[in-house]
Amino acid sequence: MLTIHRFFALLFFLIVGGLYTSFAAFYFHEQKAKSEIIAADFQRTLNEIGYQIYSGVSSFAELEEMRAGIQRKAAQNNLIDDISIQYGNKTILSTDPKMFNHSHQQLDEIDVLLESEHLRVYRDIHADVMFYDGVKPINLRIILSPNGDELDRRFDEIINSYINYSLLPTLIIAVLLFLLIKKRLIAPLEKLRQFAYYHNHVPNQFKIRELESIRNSMQQTFKRLNEEAEALYNSARTDDLSGLPNRQQLTERLNWLISESSRTQEEFAYLFIDLDNFKHINDTLGHDTGDELLIEISRIMQAELRGHDIIARFGGDEFVMVLNKYRNHLELNHIIERVLRELQEIDSISNQTVSVSASIGVAFYPKDGKNAQTLMKHADIAMYQAKERGKNQVHYFTEELNQKILQHVTLEQDLRSGIKNKEFELYYQPKVKVETGEISGCECLIRWHHPTRGLIPPNQFIPLAENSGLIVQLGEWVLEEAIQQQLFWKKMYGIDLPISVNVSAHQFAHENFYTRLQQIFKDFEFEPNKLDIEVTESVLLDDSNHNLSILKMIRSLGVTTSLDDFGTGYSSLAYLKRFPINVLKIDKSFMDDYLSRTGSVFIQTIITMAHNLNIEIVAEGIEQQDQLNYLKSVDCEFYQGYFCSKPLPAKNFIELVQDSLNKQAKT
């Protein structure tokens, strides 16, 4: 089947082909007609000369007298180059002296010249004539030589005339007509074809009325069809009352999220929400009020969600939320609690007093289910457990996880109040010289004295502080407390020990960390060279350019930097070369393995490398004399561990330092 472009291209080539066919017919007809005229002219010239010779010549002398008349005939006819008379093989008369020695080898009869191709090869033509010299017959041959240049010019005039006055104008008109048709007809028809096929771009208004009418009709038709299709599609996937996605759309979006999460290995939470005592509201206030309440609840829940979360009305008074891309379960719990709190704030609908609450069951993908049906089932079970426990609460499908999250929530609340109520205390663990046993510094370690749970170790509340953002506030307190304690020891006991303070990656990356550090030094008039900041490898990994800049500025103040737990993460020699590290701390796990060949090689390699880079080494977790002896054998400078002392409160620590100084003095 022909396309629009091919049809008009074929039409154009047919027109051009017709023009060239007419040109060929005209050209050959004109050539033949002109050839006949030229041939007749040559024939007339030969006949006239032959008749004059036959009737008026009776001797060669009289033939010579005809020279002037023959020359005049040749001169008057531009098509004739020469007229010669031969007697036998000898030229006895010629209008061109050069022709006396010319050999006329190509001679044609005059009737052969009726075709133009014979004329254009410029052959000589002849006619035989006879006269009587007395009674003796003399046979002569009259030879006419055509003028080739003039013949070419005459035939070229035919071609030029046709090209200039017929072919060229026709071609120009044909091209212009084709371009006009292409612009006004072909291009619009192609745009209409694409519009009919893709429906994605409405063509601009056309100049031709009929095409514009088609375009407008198609536009209106497709617009109506799209609106109807969209309305039908939305109606099939949207809850009529609330405007939220219905169960079908929820299933579609949930299946897509499951597919995406299985690829990215990300968790998401499936929340099954059931309104508490909604049947009672319907029965007492009427279904219209109940519907208005459902609409308001839908609006509130939709407003509380983020753009990538999913909410749907599952049916009746049941809703489903799918939450993803939360940082941790604490943030997830905050979102859920915010939804419950917003629902509880609804106190009236249609001037009717209402009390609204909801029970929420939560299941996690992929732990609690890897498909929509399983997640819905487990979240539904958890929701009923929430109702059994008193309603207006959230319950997680796994009891262990439920308890853990509740504990974290409680612990976070206690952490906030603990900072406010100064429930934290710093403990100090000595940093000891391996060779002499002299205490050369200490590491400050935070402890939390919970009012009801007692002493809580750092590994339980530090991650919580980092996730909640409280680590910055807590870290500042540690810095200030440690500096004040160091200044107190210096003032009261004359002991000027350097202190090491752990700084988390979150605190280090805070925009005000360096400024705040400078301010603390200024406020307490503290010498920065007495402070060592301990960081983990995550500081070197996260936003390394920014952190490198901060480390360099800190070092310029005189503060030293220790890299804690070296070897346990993504340790790289490139870090030691690039970052201004003063001290490497070998993790306890490596020191526990110092007796094995690989463990010993690893420790010695670290120490040798650090010495070559002018970096000090501190071995952590030293608990036995054998470990200390080993450190002496490998030239390790410092150690920390229970062999000297566990972390101690400030009072006990300073007593330990004083005892150590007294022993050193006695020796």
Instruction: Supply the DSSP string of 195-241, one letter for each residue.
Output: HHHH-S-PPPPPSSHHHHHHHHHHHHHHHHHHHHHHHHHHHHHB-TT
CA pair distance 432, 435, nearest whole angstrom:
9
Confidence of residue 638 (pLDDT cuts 50, 70, 90): very high
Instruction: State the CATH number of the domain containing residue 461.
Output: 3.20.20.450
650 shares its domain with 525:
yes
3-state secondary structure of 576: helix
Average of pLDDT values for 63-83? 85
Q: What is the pLDDT of residue 575?
A: 72
Q: Is position 443 within any domain?
A: yes
Q: What is the pLDDT of residue 237?
A: 74
CA pair distance 60, 63, nearest whole angstrom:
5
CA pair distance 463, 477, nearest whole angstrom:
17
Cα separation values, 346 from 133, 357, 392, Å: 148, 9, 14
Average pLDDT of the chain, as a whole number: 85
503 shares its domain with 594:
yes
363 shares its domain with 446:
no
E strands along 375-512, which residues? 394-396, 424-433, 439-450, 454-456, 499-502
SS3 content of the chain, % helix, strand, coil (to 5): 60, 20, 25
Cα separation values, 142 from 88, 124, 128, 148, 653, Å: 11, 10, 6, 19, 147
579 shares its domain with 657:
yes
CA angle 41, 43, 48 (to 5 degrees): 95
Q: Which of 529, 468, 479 is nearest to 501 (CA)?
A: 479
Q: Is position 223 within any domain?
A: no
Rounded to 5 degrees, φ, ψ at 309 are -85, 165
Instruction: State the CATH number of the domain containing residue 60.
Output: 3.30.450
Q: Which of 37, 68, 39, 41 is nearest to 52 (CA)?
A: 68
Q: What is the pLDDT of residues 334-384, one digit of tens each?
A: 889 999 999 988 888 888 888 899 999 999 999 888 999 999 989 988 998
Regarding predicted confidence, which is higher, 322 or 21? 322
Confidence of residue 323 (pLDDT cuts 50, 70, 90): very high
24 shares its domain with 116:
yes
For 591, the domain range is 426-666
Confidence of residue 414 (pLDDT cuts 50, 70, 90): very high
3-state secondary structure of 567: coil
Q: What is the pLDDT of residue 559?
A: 96
Confidence of residue 110 (pLDDT cuts 50, 70, 90): very low
450 shares its domain with 380:
no
Which of these ranges, 73-82, 249-258, 516-525, 622-631, has the smallest mean pLDDT? 73-82
Q: What is the pLDDT of residue 543?
A: 62
Q: What is the pLDDT of residues 585-629, one digit of tens each?
A: 999 988 999 999 988 998 999 999 999 999 999 999 999 999 999
User: Which percentage of the chain shows pLDDT scores above 90?
Assistant: 35
506 shares its domain with 595:
yes
Instruction: State the CATH number of the domain containing residue 309.
Output: 3.30.70.270
Give the pair of three-digit tokens for residue 455: 């002493």
434 shares its domain with 372:
no
Residue 109 pLDDT more than 70?
A: no
Confidence of residue 18 (pLDDT cuts 50, 70, 90): confident
Q: Taking a C-beta distance cutoff of 8 angstroms, is the pair 634, 603 a contact?
A: yes
Count of CB atoms within 10 A of residue 575's CB? Answer: 18
373 shares its domain with 431:
no
Which run of H or E residues covers position 320? strand 318-324
Residue 105 pLDDT more than 50?
A: no
Instruction: Supply the DSSP string of 618-667, one letter for each residue.
Output: EE----SHHHHHHHHHTT--EE-STTT---EEHHHHHHHHHHHHHHHHH-
Q: Is position 543 within any domain?
A: yes
Q: What is the pLDDT of residue 3?
A: 67
Residue 315 pLDDT more than 50?
A: yes
Q: Is position 635 within any domain?
A: yes
Q: Which of 427, 8, 403 is nearest to 179 (CA)?
A: 8
Domain count, the chain: 3
Q: What is the pTM for the complete model shown?
A: 0.52
Residue 276 pLDDT more than 80?
A: yes
Which of these ranges, 205-214, 398-407, 423-432, has the smallest mean pLDDT? 398-407
Q: What is the pLDDT of residue 621?
A: 94
Q: Are strands 348-349 and 583-586 parallel, antiparallel or unpaired?
A: unpaired
CA pair distance 475, 482, nearest whole angstrom:
11
389 shares its domain with 455:
no
Q: Is position 342 within any domain?
A: yes
Regarding predicted confidence, which is higher, 230 or 533? 533
Q: Which of 62, 94, 68 is nearest to 81 (CA)?
A: 94
Residue 100 pLDDT more than 80?
A: no
450 shares its domain with 544:
yes
CA pair distance 56, 36, nearest whole angstrom:
29
Q: Taking a C-beta distance cutoff of 8 angstroms, is the pair 351, 279 a contact?
A: no
Q: Taking a C-beta distance cutoff of 8 angstroms, is the pair 245, 311 a contact?
A: yes
Regarding predicted confidence, which is higher, 220 or 139? 139
Rounded to 5 degrees, φ, ψ at 433 are -75, 130
- Chain CA centroid to CA 178, Å: 42
Q: What is the pLDDT of residues 550-592, one digit of tens each?
A: 999 999 999 999 998 776 655 556 677 788 999 999 999 889 9
In one-letter notation, the amino acid at residue 562 is: S
Q: Is position 219 within any domain?
A: no
Q: What is the pLDDT of residue 114?
A: 44
Residue 175 pLDDT more than 60?
A: yes
Q: Which of 384, 388, 401 is nearest to 273 (CA)?
A: 384
3-state secondary structure of 432: strand
3-state secondary structure of 556: helix
Residue 113 pLDDT more than 60?
A: no
147 shares its domain with 242:
no
Average of pLDDT values for 57-64? 83
Instruction: Supply the DSSP string of 94-142, one letter for each residue.
Output: ESSGGGGG-----EE-GGGGGSHHHHTTT-EEEEEEEEEETTEEEEEEE
Q: Is position 172 within any domain?
A: no
The residues, ordered by sequence, that sit 6+ positions from 386 with a Cβ below 8 Å of its Cβ are 359, 360, 361, 393, 394, 395
Q: Is position 377 within any domain?
A: yes
Average of pLDDT values for 64-83? 85
Which of 84-93, 256-265, 487-496 ranks highest by mean pLDDT?
487-496
Give the pair of three-digit tokens for residue 357: 């609450």
Q: What is the pLDDT of residue 569?
A: 58
Q: Are strands 358-365 and 352-353 parallel, antiparallel or unpaired?
A: unpaired
Q: Which of 165, 178, 147 is nearest to 82 (CA)?
A: 147
Specify the residue for token string 């306890």.
Answer: 588
Q: What is the pLDDT of residue 513?
A: 93
Rounded to 5 degrees, φ, ψ at 449 are -95, 90
Q: What is the pLDDT of residue 428?
A: 98
Average of pLDDT values for 201-219? 77
